[in-house]
Structure 1
Amino acid sequence: MILHPSIFKAYDVRGGYPAEINEETVYLVGRAFAVWLTKKARKQPVIVVGSDARISSPGLKKALVRGILEQGGKIIDIGLATTPMFYFAVNKAKADGGAMVTASHNPAKYNGLKFTLKQARPVGEETGLEEIKLLALRAKFKAAAKKGTLKKKSLFKKYVNFMLRQIKNIEMPDLKIAIDSGNGMAGLILPHLFKRMKRIKIFPLYFKVDCGFPNHEANPLKEDTLNDLKNLMRKKKVDMGVAFDGDGDRVVFLTAEGRPARADFITALLAGEYLKKYPKAKIAFGVNSSRVVREAIAEKGGRPFVSRIGHSFFKEHLWKEGVVFGGELSGHYYFRDFFNADSGIFTMMKVLKIVAQEKKPLSELIKPFERYFASGEINFEVKDKFGIIKNLEKKFSDGRVSKVDGLSVEYKDWWFNVRSSNTEPLLRLNLEAKTKKMLEEKKKMLTIIIKKSS
């Protein structure tokens, strides 16, 4: 049996089923994780295990459990769960770590594993995943001194109650909301949540959990996946639309007009809310976020904190840098009061709270952030990614240069960021300008330079 090293990504384990990831590989990786965590915890580790509802997930979870038990892990099996619910369980169980079978928003043919330490701190390439990979590839395991144990535990009710506490003592207005769960895991929780939010009428779309994703890919960042939701919104004349990804850790909001609200505008909106609770606090945002996020944070007395792209980097900032909230263009939002982790449903509850308190529609709440024109992410397939970045740094050395993630160059009326993809021969370009004309000019100029360099 061949274990493909390529299934180990920067933040998780992921691959096509069964060619790259299957029961045998997951069994080995499960054993490796248990060995690594035992060493880390210096005792028989308590490990929370959960899974999404992909067709391959039950078999993979069974193999994972077998591997962990053989290395003496004490498993708490929470059954089917969203990834944020899994983070909640790791914290509430005071576990030493956790393993979740999921491939998030990826198509149905994929599956994978997400690992955490205690308090749901992420295990990524630089925080243990590389060691787990080497242990799994070596596959030389000694029998554990003590046998592992398995206990099943549901935290479902506690999780729903936790979410409802986010709007406790808030008088909710009469709202009509269309919600697309995309047949993903959020559909497990949403009906139970809204049953107890009497003044909100929801129009559910694809709530039935089916991780074969029969209606559309559960990736709300792809705008064509929002077409059915937009049609439902028009038909029902709702106040807002909400779309979740496959494992429920990402969320996209739509205004009453059916326009997706930019994730950096939602970050700016939520930053204001968190700075009321934590004055002068640090708020994190990605290098590709609009300049308006930095401005909105500063205007509310906060301290802007620029981050590398990726959930493990954001979470570490919350743990180590005193950041209280952060948001990325990918639709991930991170909260101190959600275990320094991300959750689509938690984000939705926070946005609903603001809508209720301000008594304004979402479109009006984000309008003040519409100050600049953004390109969105533009991908270039190139051979020498780092050579091109070096060339751009020379050409634009008169701007304010930053290397937090790739290369960012700022000027008074425009800026750009170019960074390398971790997994593909791609350069990712984002730019923003004060006028549409300037945006098009700068985009054309940068495109020519990148294409000539490649």
Structure 2
Amino acid sequence: MAIDLSSIVKAYDVRGVVPDQFSPQVAEALGVAFARVVVIPDATGSARPGVVIGRDMRDSGPELVDAFARGLTSEGVDVTLIGLCSTDGLYYASGQLSLPGAMFTASHNPARYNGIKLCRSGARPVGQETGLAEIRELAQGILDGVTTGSTSAGSTSGAGSVTQRDLLADYAGFLRSLVDLADARPLKVVVDAGNGMAGLTVPAVLGDAAGLAGLPLDLVPLYFELDGSFPNHEANPLDPANLIDLQAAVVANEADLGLAFDGDADRCFVVDERGGAVSPSAITALVGLAEVTKELAEGRTPTVIHNLITSRAVPDLLSAAGATTVRTRVGHSFIKAQMAEHGAVFGGEHSAHYYFRDFWFADTGMLAALHVLAALSTQDHTMSELAEMFEPYYGSGEINSTVSDAAAATDRVLDAYRAAYPGVVVDTLDGVTVSHWEAHPQWWFNLRASNTEPLLRLNVEAADEDIMEKVRDDVLSLVRETAGSAEGEEAL
């Protein structure tokens, strides 16, 4: 059966069903292509080219990693295997070892999926515009028999080597060095690992499993057993259904807050002491304020990156605090590129990805969690009171609509709103954003088409809840005028 890599090589990662779409054969071809397109050309000096590889807890991981490594070593590339890790653990390894990296994970997707997140040395992203398209084309040629799959084309003769290395303790120590919890008051924290990689990283970073001094935290674990079949709930905290157990446990244990991580533990979600979900935009503003304050104290002018569906509260609050804010497209490869271009101290997405200059401009949910714990533990407010300070507006969340013609549905919405609001501002940075924020009533919405599915994704925000609901309902009515629909929340 012919293998079409265009179905699994996405805008900024590889993701597909194992083995129908993503097999060891595909992984090996991608390993060869990664070596030729990124690893060998980026190698400097006389050192042999190398790659660091990590994986999550999915059963298909070991076989796929072995095949990918085989492709790399056939090209003369040395491979360092760090075994089970979170995605930000792989980024740490790439940054600390100055090596390109490959993380085998399908994040929140069901057990039958797996994938790869690729980066250059220093955790720099590899997306469609920075090498992934070329990797796909070359790997497709290998699978189709047009291109040979093994040439020993490395910078030195012979096959590459494979070594193993454990970096969990180093990763934990590095993160702890970035946030000062010396004056923290004791907190009770419920953590839902969702049977994902947070079951490994939370005890190391927030506990003493990595040999670090204990923190003033009473940790209540939920689903810490690593299990890629996700027996308790999907490892996708952006779906409210997957927060129910955490919310109940926070209330039952009279905890100060709850933390939830996705399957590869690169995203962190927060639940307050009442069991209420805290908006990732509020966390972006809260963590951003901590980083901005630190930058200003050190005499630097801070820049913060945020994607275009985060709350307007993010640029409002951080600009008022003295930061320059930069708005960017949705997606980690885009925001990482903007982080590096602007030397930004921090970046946040409404999908709960948080990026730090001090972490090679990469995203780490665990470092964001440390900042939240520090913010809560050094003052007397509850988590709900603290979050309320950073959530002045009302948002719809991301709502997906199944449409047969996304362009026609978008045009229908634009025509209606331009007619009703002649002064409305429209931009096309990512999909279309229609803004009435500089007039009253204040509202904006964004419509973005999915790259892989017949979906339009809607986000609405307003200064008044009734206005938000009206805009949301009006736009959805226009979008779904001639189409069936399905509602849900996106998880990246």
Give the TM-score, by structure 1 length.
0.96
Q: Could you tell me which residue of structure 1 aligns to residue 16 of structure 2?
A: 15
Give 1:39 deviation, angstroms: 4.4
Q: Is 1:49–2:50 an aligned residue pair?
A: no
Q: 2:455 aligns with which of 404, 410, 426?
A: 426
Q: Greater CA deviation, 238-247 or 351-360? A: 351-360
SS at 2:478's partner residue?
helix
Q: Is 1:446–2:458 an aligned residue pair?
A: no
Contact 2:284 2:314 in 1 (8 A): yes
Q: How does 1:109-258 map to 2 (within 5 A)?
A: 109-139=112-142, 140-141=147-148, 142-144=150-152, 145-168=157-180, 170-193=182-205, 194-195=207-208, 196-258=213-275
Give 1:8 deviation, angstroms: 0.6
CA distance in 2, matches of 1:247, 1:2: 30
Contact 2:39 2:120 in 1 (8 A): no
CA distance in 2, matches of 1:133, 1:376: 33
Contact 2:119 2:126 in 1 (8 A): yes
Q: Could you tell me which residue of structure 1 aligns to residue 290 of structure 2?
A: 273
CA distance in 2, matches of 1:370, 1:32: 45
SS at 2:247's partner residue?
helix
Structure 1: which 5+ residue stretches go unaligned? none
Q: Which amino acid aligns with 1:404?
A: L
Contact 1:11 1:123 in 2 (8 A): yes
Q: Residue 39 and residue 150 in structure 1: after superposition, are their counterparts in 2 closer, same or farther (change >3 A)?
A: closer
SS at 1:320's partner residue?
helix
Q: Could you tell me which residue of structure 1 aligns to residue 32 of structure 2?
A: 31
Q: Could you tell me which residue of structure 2 aligns to residue 409 of structure 1?
A: 434
Q: Which amino acid aligns with 2:177?
A: R
Instruction: State the 4+ residue runs in structure 1 displaced beyond 3 angstroms.
Output: 390-397
Q: Percent of pairs identical after alignment?
A: 38
Q: How does 1:78-89 map to 2 (within 5 A)?
A: 78-89=82-93
SS at 1:409's partner residue?
strand
Q: Could you tell me which residue of structure 2 aligns to residue 296 of structure 1?
A: 317
Q: Greater CA deviation, 397-406 or 251-260? A: 397-406
Contact 2:106 2:113 in 1 (8 A): yes
Q: Could you tell me which residue of structure 2 aligns to residue 354 of structure 1?
A: 375
Q: Could you tell me which residue of structure 2 aligns to residue 344 of structure 1?
A: 365
Contact 2:237 2:261 in 1 (8 A): yes
CA distance in 2, matches of 1:364, 1:311: 30
The count of aligned residue pairs is 453
CA distance in 2, matches of 1:392, 1:231: 39
Contact 1:306 1:404 in 2 (8 A): no
CA distance in 2, matches of 1:162, 1:414: 41
Give 1:395 deviation, angstroms: 3.8
Contact 2:181 2:215 in 1 (8 A): no
Structure 2: which 5+ residue stretches go unaligned? 484-492
CA distance in 2, matches of 1:104, 1:172: 32
Q: Which amino acid aligns with 2:127?
A: G
Q: Which amino acid aligns with 1:33?
A: F
Q: Could you tell me which residue of structure 1 aligns to residue 280 of structure 2?
A: 263
Contact 1:170 1:357 in 2 (8 A): no
Name the Cα RMSD after superposition: 1.7
Q: 2:105 aligns with which of 102, 113, 117?
A: 102
Give 1:453 deviation, angstroms: 6.7
SS at 2:53's partner residue?
strand
